[in-house]
Amino acid sequence: MTIQWFPGHMNAARRQAAEALARVDAVIEVVDARLPEASSNPLIAQLCQARNRPRLKLLNKADLADPDVTAAWLAFYNRQPGVVAHAVSCRVAGDAMRVPDLCQQLAPHRNDGTKPLRMMAMGIPNVGKSTLINALARRRVCKVGDEPAVTRQQQTLELGAGRRLTDTPGLMWPKIDHDLDGFMLAASHAIGRNAVIDEEVATVLGDVLLDRYRSALLARYGLDDAEDGVALVAAIGERRGCRLRGGRLDLEKASRILLQDYRSGALGRISLESPDSRQRMLERAQCARMAAPDSAAES
């Protein structure tokens, strides 16, 4: 199964974001620290480059991510031109309140007090952008929920002290190029439920977790071993008594248990990708593309 999700309202949101970008000094791009590259919308980087706007890349939910892997990602992003990266947990007020000062450093020409520092928050759905906005506004101005695409309208807020913030709806891109990215995004609840099948997402998540955090995962569920994601979901169902009428395993319920444990942090501090694993995935994809014409010619 290939996961794609681009609701109709996102076309309008993309146009509005491109127009608003002409009137801001710095962009705050919020990504999920557990999968920072998979949760980076390539359109945001393209828009910032076209407008020559500096980008503060916030690796949010850092409290749920593997700290060693997060450090590697920060080094990776801070080598990129026009980008400054920081790890935060926007549920922690102190982390969120650092953000305007970080943006001020990206736009030193706004230090004279004659014009406000104009910031714009961007990111894909459900990475914690609304939580950040509410913390900066010191009141609930954005609806927050564990569902993607909660924010639908752009809004501009006066933060005081000569600072202004434009919030944009969560924005996906029209085509997810790598299947694994789609599954990681779905596992992290950045994609609407109507576009995914929980059992398939949990199976791929299980494969990733067994590869990266096997010991902690097996300990969590009291398992001796699991060959792959399919076996893991079935074993969770056995251990948690997930049964349908007639005694068959309820694999959908077992899948939801694994997904919720990952999303809530019950599995520990987990990162689904690292700079090295990302590079290996891209190399495999490149090899597959290069081999495809030869395979077609042979057939």
Q: Classify domain 197-285 by CATH number.
A: 1.10.1580.10
Residue matched to tokens 């961007």? 122
Local confidence band at 297 (pLDDT 50, 70, 90 cut-offs): very low
149 pLDDT higher than 80: no
Full-prediction pTM beyond 0.85?
yes
Average pLDDT over residues 20-46: 94
pLDDT at 299: 41
147 pLDDT higher than 60: no
Average pLDDT over residues 270-298: 85
Radius of gyration of the chain, Cα coordinates, nearest whole angstrom: 21
87 pLDDT higher than 80: yes
Q: Output the CA–CA distances (angstroms, integers) from residue 268 to 26, 147, 171, 219, in the order listed.
A: 34, 22, 28, 11
Q: Which residue has the higher pLDDT, 42 or 148?
A: 42
Q: Return the closest-CA partner of residue 91 out of 121, 64, 57.
A: 64
Over residues 189-212, the pLDDT tens digits come to 998 777 789 999 999 999 999 999
Q: Regarding the domain delimited by 9-167, which CATH topology (the fold level of the hierarchy) does it fall under?
A: Rossmann fold (3.40.50)
pLDDT at 93: 78
Q: Output the CA–CA distances (angstroms, integers) from residue 107 to 43, 44, 55, 166, in the order listed.
A: 22, 18, 10, 16
Considering the chain, what is the average pLDDT of its residues?
89
CB-CB contact of 70 with 57 (8 Å): no
Average pLDDT over residues 19-27: 90
Going from N- to C-terminal start, the domains of the chain cover 9-167, 197-285
Same fold, 9-167 and 197-285: no
pLDDT at 192: 78
